[in-house]
């Protein structure tokens, strides 16, 4: 009888120890994306890369001037000069990658999603791919 009670009790105690503390520094991130990271030096930040296609649904290209105007109108006001842009190519379509390092919080995430929506509307895009990853930042 004691053995039958000890096993479930032991499992329950082990599982209870797996729960993150309520004051976790990532408690403001939705649970399905809450990271677990250790940063030996520096600060834990989120690095987000957005991939912008440069071809409209009609097949017409997004010109370099249009891209530069989008950056001036939409990217710089949101992120100042705290971003990097580089060129990419995938399956024959030219792309631009925008890399932003920011606090891993909901307001930052919402700002990035708003930028994605603006690009999709402005250039008739189905999607703007978003890739997030935790990084350790030290300057």
Domain range summary for the chain, segments of one domain joined by +: 29-137
Sequence length of the chain is 139
pLDDT at 36: 56
In angstroms, what CA-CA distances link 65 with 29, 62, 98, 99? 36, 8, 17, 20
Q: Among the listed ranges 21-30, 48-57, 104-113, 126-135, which one has the minimum average pLDDT value?
A: 21-30
Phi, psi of 96 (to 5 degrees): -120, 135
DSSP conformation letters of 101-136: EE-SSHHHHHHHHHHHHHHHHHHT-S--EEEEEEEE
Domain 29-137 falls under CATH 3.30.70.120: yes
DSSP conformation letters of 14-28: HHHTTSPPTT-TTTT
In tens, the pLDDT along 38-71 reads 688 889 999 999 999 999 999 999 999 999 999 9
């Amino acid at each position: 009888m004691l053995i039958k009670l000890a096993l479930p009790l032991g499992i329950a105690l082990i599982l209870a120890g797996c729960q993150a503390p309520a004051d976790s520094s990532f408690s403001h991130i939705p649970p399905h994306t809450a990271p677990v990271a250790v940063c030996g030096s520096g600060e834990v930040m989120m690095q987000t890369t957005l991939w912008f296609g440069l071809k409209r649904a009609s097949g017409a290209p997004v010109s370099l001037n249009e891209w530069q105007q989008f950056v001036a109108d939409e990217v710089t006001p949101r992120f100042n000069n705290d971003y990097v842009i580089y060129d990419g190519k995938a399956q024959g379509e030219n792309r631009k990658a925008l890399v932003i390092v920011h606090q891993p919080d909901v307001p930052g995430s919402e700002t990035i999603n708003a930028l994605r929506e603006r690009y999709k509307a402005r250039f008739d895009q189905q999607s703007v791919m978003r890739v997030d990853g935790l990084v350790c930042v030290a300057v």
